[in-house]
Amino acid sequence: MAVLPLFIESVKCGFPSPADGHQEQLELEEYLIRNPNATFLLRASGESMVGIGIYDGDLLVVDRAESIVPGRIVVVRIYDEFTCKRLIRHNGVWWLKAANPAFKPYPMPEDSEIFGVVTRNIHDLLKV
């Protein structure tokens, strides 16, 4: 995996601030992946998660070793298909909630499986 330069200063998304050349090294794989043996990538499809910045075509980093807790963004396998939603707990039952008001939350079907937790979202800004 490539090691890329990482400037120590953060970039302001308002008034410009020069970076002054201060940098360290960042191994991208270490930053993106916590548990390499339990991590895989999936391409996002659809518009149900646009409210949190996951867009059609984005690349999701999914970690099967992360804890399953309410509020996390998860990939769930339902009837041999994957879906990406926020996991919520309601009346002792797991529910899946989209980040788009056009989609209603729904209880997780009994025969579904939480496949992993989305830890990163890679969005190609050149496709905007």
What residues are labeled active site? 48, 85
Antiparallel, parallel or unpaired: β 106-107 and 93-97: antiparallel
Q: Give the H or E element holding residue 60.
A: strand 59-63
Is 4 strand, coil or helix?
strand
- One-letter amino acid at 109 equals P
* Residue the block writes with tokens 């149900």: 48
Per-residue exposure over 25-34, b if at least 16 CB sit within 10 Å of its own CB, e if not: eeeeeeebbe
Compute the distance between CA of residue 128 and CA of residue 115 in angstroms, rounded to an integer. 29
